[in-house]
C-alpha cells in the first residue's frame, strides 16, 4: 500500500505496542491466547483511535487552506475530544455539534470528555436532538463561520470517510510489520464497529497487506444487518482511494450486533464485567461506550469457543477511558 500520495500530519510518533494479556487469557480458561494492540496509547489528549484518522483528515483540511475545524459526535465523544486536541496543537479553531442521542443526558457542566472539550479550547458547542441530520447541522455552522470570514472544514462524525479510514489501513500495515518482527502469528483480530472507519480501514489493510487474518467487528450501536452494509461501502471507497487492487469481498466484513445491549452508550452488565476484568487482570482501562462492549463481545466469543483452542486473538484497544468518569454510578 502506498500512503505517500496523501498528506499526513505525523501525529503517531511511532508504533503502538502489541502486548500479551496472559492474566486475562488465564482468567477466561486459558484456551486462547489474547493480545492487545494499545491504540489507547496513541498521542493526542487521552489517546485513542481518532488520532490515526485525524492524521489524514486534518492534513487534508490544512492543505485546503482551512483555519477552522467543525465536527460532530455524541455528548461524550472521544472523536470530538481528539479533534479539539489536534486543532489546538495546529492552531485551528474547533467547533462542535453534539448529538444528544439519549434524551436529557447532556449536562452543561458534565464530566468526562464533555469537560475536556472546554479545557481543550473548543470555541462553540451546539447540542442538537438525537436523530438530527448531523451533516446538515455542521453545514449550518460552516455557513455561519464563512459569513464571519472563517475558512471552515468539516470532519465527518468519527472522521469516518475514506480519508480517515486510511489511518486504519495504515494501522493494519503497522501491525503486520510488528507481528513479523515479533514472529507472532495472529489468527483473529477483534475491532469496534461504530462510525465504521476503524473496522473498514482494518479490513482494507488486511487485504492490502495480504495478511489473511479475519477481522471481527463488534457493533456498539446497531444490529449487524444494519451495520455491515455501511462498513462494506466505506471499505470499498477506501480501497478505491488507496488503489488496493481486486476490491474487497463482501464476506470480509463481519459484524456482531448482540453486544450493543440496551443501545448506544447505554450500559450493559457484560460491559461492566469486561471493564472490571480488564482493569483487575491487565491494568488496562476500557470505556463504557465502545471498548467495554467490544471486550464484552471478545469475552463472550472466547467463552463460547468461537475461536479454536490455541488461537492467538488480538483485541484492538481504541481508547475512550475519559468517559469512565461520566459513568461512576454504573460501576459503583
Ligand X SMILES: *Cc1c(COP(=O)(O)O)cnc(C)c1O
| Pairing outcome for strands 188-193 and 215-219 | parallel
Using Cβ positions, the residue closest to ligand X within the complex turns out to be: 320
Beta strand 188-193 with 312-317: parallel, antiparallel or unpaired? parallel
Element housing 20 (H / E)? strand 18-20
Tally Cβ neighbours within 10 Å of residue 121.
Answer: 12
For CA atoms 270, 217, 130, 141, give the dihedral sign.
positive
Least spacing, CB of residue 114 vs ligand X, in Å: 14
Nearer to ligand X, 28 or 285 (CB): 285
Give 152 or 192: the residue with its C-beta nearer to ligand X: 192
Q: Which is nearer to ligand X, 117 or 290 (CB)?
A: 290
Exactly one of 46, 77, 268, 321 is catalytic; name it: 77
Minimum CB separation of residue 330 from ligand X in Å reads 16
d(Cα 203, Cα 205) in Å, to the nearest integer? 5
Q: Least distance in Å: CB of 146 to ligand X? A: 28
DSSP for 129-186, written as a single string? ETT--HHHHHHHHHHHHHHTT--EEEPPGGG-SHHHHHHHHHHHHHHHHHHHHHT---
Task: Tell me how far the alpha carbon of residue 18 is from its chain's centroid.
Answer: 17
The full DSSP string for 95-120 is EEEEEE-STT---TT--THHHHHHHT
| Residue among 52 and 145 whose Cβ is closer to ligand X | 52
Which residues of this chain interact with ligand X, rule CB under 6 A? 48-49, 78-79, 158, 160, 192-199, 287, 290-291, 318-320
Told to judge if 77 belongs to the known catalytic residues of this protein, a careful annotator would answer yes
Cβ 157 to ligand X shortest distance, Å: 8
| Residue nearer to ligand X on the CB measure, 68 or 71 | 71
Active site residues: 77
Amino acid at each position: 500500500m502506498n500512503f505517500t500520495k496523501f498528506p499526513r500530519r505525523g501525529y503517531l510518533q511511532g508504533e503502538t505496542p502489541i502486548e500479551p494479556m496472559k492474566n486475562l487469557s488465564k482468567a477466561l480458561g486459558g484456551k486462547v491466547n489474547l493480545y492487545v494492540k494499545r491504540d489507547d496509547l496513541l498521542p493526542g489528549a487521552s489517546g485513542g483511535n481518532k488520532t490515526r484518522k485525524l492524521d489524514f483528515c486534518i492534513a487534508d483540511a490544512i492543505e485546503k487552506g482551512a483555519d477552522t475545524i467543525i465536527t460532530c459526535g455524541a455528548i461524550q465523544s472521544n472523536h470530538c475530544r481528539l479533534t479539539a486536541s489536534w486543532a489546538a496543537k495546529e492552531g485551528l479553531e474547533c467547533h462542535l455539534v453534539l448529538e444528544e442521542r439519549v434524551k436529557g443526558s447532556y449536562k452543561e457542566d458534565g464530566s468526562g470528555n464533555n469537560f475536556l472539550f472546554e479545557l481543550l479550547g473548543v470555541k462553540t458547542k451546539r447540542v442538537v436532538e438525537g436523530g438530527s441530520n448531523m451533516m446538515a447541522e455542521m453545514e449550518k455552522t460552516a455557513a455561519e463561520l464563512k459569513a464571519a470570514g472563517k475558512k471552515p472544514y468539516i470532519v465527518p462524525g468519527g472522521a469516518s470517510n475514506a480519508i480517515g479510514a486510511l489511518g486504519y489501513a495504515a494501522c493494519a500495515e503497522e501491525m503486520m510489520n510488528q507481528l513479523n518482527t515479533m514472529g507472532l502469528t495472529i489468527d483473529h483480530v477483534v475491532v469496534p464497529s461504530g462510525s465504521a472507519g476503524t473496522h473498514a480501514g482494518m479490513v482494507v489493510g488486511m487485504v492490502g497487506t495480504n495478511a489473511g487474518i479475519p477481522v471481527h467487528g463488534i457493533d456498539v450501536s446497531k444490529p449487524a444487518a444494519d451495520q455491515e452494509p455501511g462498513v462494506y461501502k466505506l471499505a470499498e471507497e477506501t480501497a478505491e482511494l488507496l488503489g488496493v487492487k481486486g476490491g474487497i469481498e463482501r464476506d470480509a466484513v463481519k459484524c456482531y450486533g448482540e453486544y450493543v445491549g440496551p443501545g448506544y452508550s447505554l450500559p450493559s452488565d457484560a460491559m461492566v464485567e469486561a471493564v472490571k476484568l480488564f482493569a483487575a487482570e491487565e491494568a488496562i482501562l476500557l470505556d463504557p461506550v465502545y471498548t467495554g462492549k467490544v471486550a464484552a463481545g471478545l469475552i463472550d466469543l472466547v467463552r463460547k469457543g468461537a475461536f479454536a483452542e490455541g488461537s492467538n486473538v488480538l483485541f484492538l484497544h481504541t481508547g475512550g477511558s475519559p468517559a469512565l468518569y461520566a459513568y461512576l454510578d454504573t460501576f459503583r
